[in-house]
Amino acid sequence: MNKLEQLKKRSQVVADTGDIEAIRRYRPQDATTNPSLLYKAAQLPQYKGLIGDSLNWVQRHQGHKNPAETARLAAIKLAVDIGAEILQLVPGVISTEVDARLSFDTRATIDYARHLATLYERVGVPRERVLIKIAATWEGIAAAEILEREDIRCNLTLLFSLCQAIACAEANTSLISPFVGRILDWHLANGERKAYPGEEDPGVVSVRNIYHYYKSRDYDTIVMGASFRNSGEIEALAGCDRLTISPQLLQALEENTGKLESGLPTNIQPQPRPTRKLSEAEFRYQLNNDAMATEKLAQGIRNFAKDQQRLEMLLQSQVIGHQKTDAATNP
């Protein structure tokens, strides 16, 4: 077996892409998207039809004349339509992200997540096949706690610290996505070392600690390592509940026929859970004390928001183009 086949025997493999052709090739259990991946996917010729469908759907059902608002709503519908297409290829679930610009607004996050769930249901996708991705801010975690009680399952993303992971587990969220590679990026840019072997990679160490905390205390929240920079990080986390991997690294694992020897320990001793939940003040103080987590969380929100805006601008340009064409043909 190649290393990808070996990995699939120890962890559920998730495709970190919106590229349907890549998903068809690597046959993951689940798939996950984000605004950056959707923006890239929207520029591929095979998605031209879906873009047109999303714009037409908004204009038929919403009646908006404002190009910016039409584009905003079409971006939401496009994310759902791409997710529904992907679900025809994977047996598990698709993760679809809430607009990162709402990361500090609990009520708006809840409303957006409900809208996504409703749109999926309208195209025949039940709630159990969808995870709503939400940034792991205090406000995002609070929103997820409410949504989970409504059977809207959540994937807490942009997670870089143990305090974020603890708050997510105590909110009974379905899944968390700790970011491995972005933690490594920060340490390479700000530390004294220029390289880390797999087991010492600070992103790997972070996920290992979170995994140990969850399993030793018997939390149900799934740990899904994300944002990998190299296959060594993936191999070091073999055995993690789920691993979401880019097509490039899936290919590297598929082409490697060596033995997958490293991974997470299985002999974890049980420990008692805390007697009370982490408070908002404790969460904010602990996050503030972690410079890496604070900086990478803020940067991640900014970057996802920027790509969401880029996607909307791409769609808006098409709306304006159609309006000009209509005006020319119907003076």
Active-site residue list: 133
Helices (H), 43-104: 48-61, 67-87
Cβ 176 vs Cβ 155: under 8 Å: yes
| Cβ pair 66, 264 in contact under 8 A | no
Beta-carbon contacts of 24 under 8 Å, excluding residues fewer than 6 positions away, are: 89
For residues 58 and 122, is the Cβ–Cβ distance under 8 A?
no
232, 199 contact by CB (below 8 A):
no
Per-residue tokens: 17: 């892409």
Residue 125 is given by DSSP the state -
> Which stretches does DSSP call E strand in the chain?
12-16, 30-32, 94-97, 130-135, 154-159, 175-178, 222-225, 242-245
Residues facing residue 243 across a β-bridge: 13, 225
Count of other CB atoms within 10 angstroms of residue 167: 30
Identify the three-state secondary structure at position 135. Answer: strand
Ramachandran sector of residue 124 (left: φ over 0; alpha: ψ -120 to 50; beta: rest): left
Distance from C-alpha of 172 to C-alpha of 214, rounded to nearest angstrom:
12
Return d(Cα 163, Cα 279) in angstroms, integer: 10
